[in-house]
Amino acid sequence: MIGARAAAARVAAEAGDEDERGGGFLERLRTQRKLRMVTLVSLAVVVLVVLPAFFGLRTASSDPVFGSLDSLEVPAWAEQKVDDKSDGSRWCFIDCTFRERTAESQRSIPETTAAYTSALTSAGWAPWKVVECPEVPIPEGDSTTYSCFKRDEFTLDLRVSQPECQVDQVAANDPSVAGATAPPAPAKGQCVGSAVSIKVQNAIADSRGKPDPQKSPLIGETPDTVITEDPLLEPTPTAS
């Protein structure tokens, strides 16, 4: 009798061990499934959210207009100390983006102008003859060159002028700024080259070459009043 009870207890214990082992297996299976699900969700977040945001920010930070200027076939001597600045919205929200690139050239104004003009026309920029190019007339005797171009939805202003060191020389020789306020003049023969300025803006934001909206051709001038002896203009007599 005792042996039968012991055998039954042993069977029950083995059944309990099997249940515990089965329960532990199921628990491990559920844990693995949870880990698998968390991994899949994390990968989905990376692919659908993180990567698009990263590439979107990288695209937004790299201006394609400056990239186009970088691809111009300009000699190395004509694009020294390049500096880019921009302001406004690329999508023309309130204000369109206004871009400006400045650089230094190691050669004269005519050589530099020819190099940039050739590079721009080869890249598809067409010379644009328009009023107010430049907006401020260049003084007579000034060697500065100023030309405008147009391509797709953009306009471009190219200005090649004297280098800053020559401007300092002129200022140093000007009696009105002589003394402590005058910049130090470079040594003779050390000031060579020219300064380059490129300004690019959206054509829709460039008012040059467009009719003045304040001067509509549909609105004429109000003529002066002409007084005649027309009886219709005389007051009607009152009844007596």
Q: Which two tokens stand for residue 175?
A: 């009696």
Q: How many domains does the chain have?
A: 2
Tell me the pLDDT tens digit for each residue of 116-175. Answer: 999 999 999 999 999 999 988 999 889 999 999 999 999 999 999 999 887 655 555 555
Tens-digit pLDDT profile for residues 161-215: 999 887 655 555 555 655 555 555 555 566 889 999 999 999 998 999 888 656 5
* 193 and 77 together in one domain: yes
Convert the pLDDT of each residue in 43-58 to its tens digit. 776 666 555 444 443 4
Categorize the per-residue pLDDT at 100 as very low, low, confident or very high, splitting at 50, 70 and 90: very high
Q: Give the DSSP per-residue string, 131-200.
A: TTSSSSPPPTT---EEEEEEETTEEEEEEEE--HHHHHHHHHT-GGG-STTSPPPPPTT---SEEEEEEE
CB 205 within 8 A of CB 96: yes
What distance lies between CA 104 and its chain's CA centroid?
22
What CA–CA distance (Å, rounded) separates 157 from 201?
9
| One domain, residues 41 and 137 | no
Asked whether residue 220 is assigned to any structural domain, the reply reads no
The verdict on 55 and 69 lying in the same domain is: no
Same domain? 10 vs 29: yes
Give the structural domain span for 3: 1-61
Residue 215: DSSP 8-state: S
Whether 234 maps to a domain, the answer reads: no
* 88 pLDDT above the threshold of 60: yes
Is 224 domain-assigned?
Answer: no
Quote the pTM value: 0.59
On the question of pLDDT at 16 being above 60, the answer is: no
Q: Is residue 107 part of a domain?
A: yes
- Within a domain: 219: no
